[in-house]
């Protein structure tokens, strides 16, 4: 079943590339990131409840928590730093594919 969640810290195609690659490597299919709306939305084929939790965990580990998730100031700063690194890695990957 397709599940769509709203996430924070997604800014560009680099972020989307990192998210897509990470989720596909974890076995999720039909992954897409909507950069046209705010908050950003990530959609993937999630087969069951356990995978739904894993879907959210993968995003959070990359620095992209749920949009409405409450975090402490320190946790928020840590997630933003992780998302910055994830974004940079994604931009590098996108640029290498387009050259």
Give the span between the Cα atoms of 74 and 88, in whole angstroms.
21
- Token pair for 39: 């908050």
Arithmetic mean of pLDDT, 72-97: 70
Give the span between the Cα atoms of 6 and 68, in whole angstroms.
8
Q: Is there a contact between 39 and 45 (Cβ–Cβ < 8 Å)?
A: no
50-83 confidence digits (pLDDT tens):
899 999 999 999 999 999 887 777 777 777 777 7
Q: How high is the mean pLDDT of the chain?
A: 86
Domains of the chain: 2-98 (3.30.70.100)
Q: How many CB atoms lie within 10 A of CB 66?
A: 15
- What pTM, to 2 d.p., does this model score? 0.81
Residues in the chain: 99
Element (H, E) at 91: helix 73-98
């Amino acid at each position: 079943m397709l599940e769509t969640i709203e996430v924070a810290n997604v800014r560009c195609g680099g972020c989307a590339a990192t998210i897509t690659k990470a989720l596909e490597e974890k076995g999720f299919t039909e992954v897409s990131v909507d950069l046209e709306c705010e908050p950003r939305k990530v959609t993937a084929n999630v087969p069951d409840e356990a995978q739904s939790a894993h879907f959210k965990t993968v995003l959070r580990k990359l620095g992209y928590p749920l949009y409405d998730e409450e975090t402490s100031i320190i946790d928020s700063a840590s997630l933003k730093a992780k998302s910055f690194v994830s974004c940079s890695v994604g931009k590098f990957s996108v640029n290498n594919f387009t050259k």
